Amino acid sequence: MPPLVIWKAGEAALVTEDHLRHYRQTVPGCGLVMVEATAVSPEGRLAATQLGLFEDRQIPGLRRLADTIREAGALPGIQLHHAGGRTDMIKTWGATPLAPSVIPGNEEVRELTESQILRIIDDFATAARRALEAGYELLELHGAHGYLGSQFLSPRTNRRGDRWGGSLENRSRFLHEVIRAVRGVAGNRALVSCRLGVAEAPPAEATPDSPRPPHLQVTEGVDAARRLAAAGLDMIHVSHAGGMSAPSEPEGDPERFRPDPVLQLARPVREAVTVPVIGVSGIVTAEDAEEALTRGYCNLVAIGRGMLADPQWARKVTEGRPEEIERCIHCKPRCFHFKEPEKCPARRKLGIGPPGA
């Protein structure tokens, strides 16, 4: 089960009964569960209802959640997150958003100073210490989807001229230092993974004269994965760095299995690193999951929207009754679970409310 925010925390970013109910329902049958993106710093919150690991008082609730996951039979992991410039002061409860560079479109954001960068790396390490205290056995660092780790890696959002910007080595430095700091805290007490955005769609300002404005491309993303694995990762969870609209080339067999563009990114990473790779995106059925593994895209598969649509997805598959799954139909333009989960067609058919209800 990949990280899937359900927007149930309040101002203090604490675990609620809704979280416990949701994970209790969804976890049985899963092997590894990544608790949703959890903020390491108050100014890094991506939503006003996101979980947090930036205060000690957040530990007891997260411990109950880890215990719930373990009791349901899976290994509890948690995703450590900082939104960088991809948030606003309502979502951060008044804190000023910080980003590698200020790019047009969000006037509230401030450019990170050297000491703020070092403080955030330290926040990741402190959050890791709290997560270990709460009993998590895998710490996943969010380096995807256009949030802070991604913002440093992408030449589109990182325009810095210091040691944190420019070359790929410099743009990878932030994630590299976060990995080192978290590994230092975790030692061999927990696995450390990074959810890495390996490529991003070309920005909209592309024109026929300038078809390739700076953006993170697959070759650089795979190179970054290789460097970051060597910095101390046990696992890489491959995703995108901010939108992947068109596949470069359709792969697979349209009759049986056609991996989506994000899942396709997992294969070159798997070929470049020696640690296990998690593949995700677009997998709806147990057959898709099996094909992704046997065709060599990845070593582990994660099912996101499929499990939001039918919280018993993993249980039904592992109990040998996959035909009972109420399938996710990939609502367009966006999955209802982001804003109006009660409207998810699959959950409505199953007669269940939003996650945690």
Ligand X SMILES: Cc1cc2nc3c(=O)[nH]c(=O)nc-3n(C[C@H](O)[C@H](O)[C@H](O)COP(=O)(O)O)c2cc1C
- Chain residues binding ligand X by CB under 6 A are 2-5, 36-37, 79, 142, 144-145, 195, 239, 280-283, 303-306, 335, 337-338
Least separation in angstroms between CB 79 and ligand X: 6
Token pair for 15: 């675990």
Least separation in angstroms between CB 281 and ligand X: 4
Least separation in angstroms between CB 138 and ligand X: 14
Least separation in angstroms between CB 210 and ligand X: 30
User: 135 vs 197, which CB is nearer to ligand X?
Assistant: 197
Q: How far apart are CA 115 and CA 21, in angstroms?
A: 40
Residues 6+ away with beta carbon under 8 Å from 320 = none
DSSP 24: H
DSSP 334: S
User: 165 vs 285, which CB is nearer to ligand X?
Assistant: 285
Q: How far apart are CA 281 and CA 246, in angstroms?
A: 14
User: 110 vs 338, which CB is nearer to ligand X?
Assistant: 338
User: 99 vs 302, which CB is nearer to ligand X?
Assistant: 302
Q: How far apart are CA 312 and CA 304, in angstroms?
A: 12
Q: How far apart are CA 64 and CA 226, in angstroms?
A: 35
Least separation in angstroms between CB 325 and ligand X: 13
Cis amide prior to 333 (ω within 30 degrees): yes
Annotated catalytic residue within 23, 136, 147, 297: 147
Question: 11-42: string of b/e by CB count within 10 Å (b at 16+)?
Answer: eebbbbebbbbbbbbbbbbbebbbbbbbbbbe
**Plot region of 133 (φ>0 → left; ψ -120 to 50 → alpha; else → beta):** alpha
CB closest to ligand X, residue no: 304
CA distances from 274 to 270, 298, 299 (A): 7, 12, 11
User: Is 147 assigned a catalytic role?
Assistant: yes
User: 177 vs 288, which CB is nearer to ligand X?
Assistant: 288
Residues taking part in catalysis? 147
